[in-house]
Amino acid sequence: MTTPAAPATPAGDGRPPRRRKPPRRAEVVSVSRIAPRLVSVLVRGDELDAFADAAPTSHLKVFLPAPGQDEPLLPEFLPEGQAIPDDARPSVRTYTPRRFDATTGTLEIQFVLHGAGPASDWAERVSAGDKLAVAGPGGRFVMDADAERWWIAGDESAIPAVATLLEALPAAAAAEVHLEVADADDEVEFASQAKTEITWHHRRTPDAFGAELDEAARGAAIADGTKVWVACEAAAMRGIRRYFIGGRRLPASSLTTRGYWRLGEANHPDHDYGDDELAAR
């Protein structure tokens, strides 16, 4: 038996309904470790060309097989909406399309290994030939190519997105980057034409998510015209956003904030921008 999904509804802020792109089947081509807890998975499939034009920091949906399946059971798209299988539903998670190689037709997705969880477990054991599906790209971030100064912050979950942003910055730009990770094993190299200053912050305690980024934000010297981009645990992101807008009086238009995950939630939505609450209280 299948159950039609609810139709798309307005976002509540005047934007049109979000239209989900249907998933496309793909197969794993290769798997490699970038760092002990960061896995690069290359996939290939039909109709992935849209990822060639994916904007920096955009997102995609990964559909993973349920236990006992060789490939995910996908929704059927009907006039009244998506028909979602009641049994053996795929696990669906949100990631960043790291890069698309048009020559080989491969899409790279990077997975952070964070312990128990459908996607983390899958990434621990994935190998060439495994099946999945991807949908996207999506996201509403539009990079200001004329901005000369950037202040960027994120945790492990944001490393792929930060990489895409730094690679897109022009040589005339300068970026101050703060990344909070568990320890030195999580540190990776980034490429950028821009002048970058990257600071790695090691988490003070295993569960102090966002504390280092919050401290970096409160000590930041941010000149007029600086673009701010922050993505991390949702509660930490909101605290940083409130501080920048309410405490530092930065214009909301200069901020891009994303709650990539929330402590205690298994599947945080991909559209948590932190702008649905008052900036200062």
β partners of residue 231: 154, 258
Asked if residue 11 has pLDDT above 70, the reply is: no
Mean pLDDT of 83-91: 75
Last residue of some domain: 138, 171, 191? Answer: 138
Q: Which of the four pLDDT bands, split at 50, 70 and 90, describes residue 86?
A: low
DSSP 6: P
132 with 160, same domain? no
From 127, 126, 124, select the one nearest 113 (Cα to Cα): 124
Report the alpha-carbon distance of residue 114 to residue 241 in Å, rounded: 25
> What amino acid occupies position 36?
P
CB 190 within 8 A of CB 162: yes
Are residues 24 and 134 located together in one domain of the fold? yes
Cα(229)–Cα(273) distance, rounded to whole angstroms? 11
Two tokens at 127?
């190998």
Question: Quick one: pLDDT at residue 88?
Answer: 76
User: Is residue 2 in some structural domain?
Assistant: no
Q: What does the pLDDT read at residue 77?
A: 67
Q: What is the pTM (predicted TM-score) of this model? A: 0.90
Instruction: Give residue 182's pLDDT.
Output: 97
Closest CA to 61 of 275, 87, 50: 50
Q: CA 157 to CA 190: how far, in whole Å? A: 15
Concatenating the DSSP letter of every residue in 182-222 gives: SSGGG------SSEEEEEEEE-SSTT-TTHHHHHHHHT---
SS3 content of the chain, % helix, strand, coil (to 5): 20, 35, 45
Count up the domains in the chain and report the number: 2
For the chain, what is the mean pLDDT? 90
- When pLDDT is averaged across residues 70-81 and rounded to a whole number, the result is 80
- Specify the residue for token string 């992935």: 48
**Residue 193: how many other CB atoms lie within 10 Å:** 13
Based on the fold, state whether residues 102 and 77 are members of the same structural domain: yes
Q: Average pLDDT for residues 170-190, to the nearest whole number?
A: 98
Mean pLDDT value across residues 147-176: 98
| Residue-number span of the structural domain to which 70 is assigned | 20-138
| Mean pLDDT, residues 233-238 taken together | 98
pLDDT at 260 > cutoff 80: yes
**Beta pairing, strands 255-261 & 227-233:** parallel
Structure letter (DSSP) for residue 236: H
Tell whether 75 and 27 lie within a shared domain: yes
Task: Give a yes or no: residue 70 inside a domain.
Answer: yes
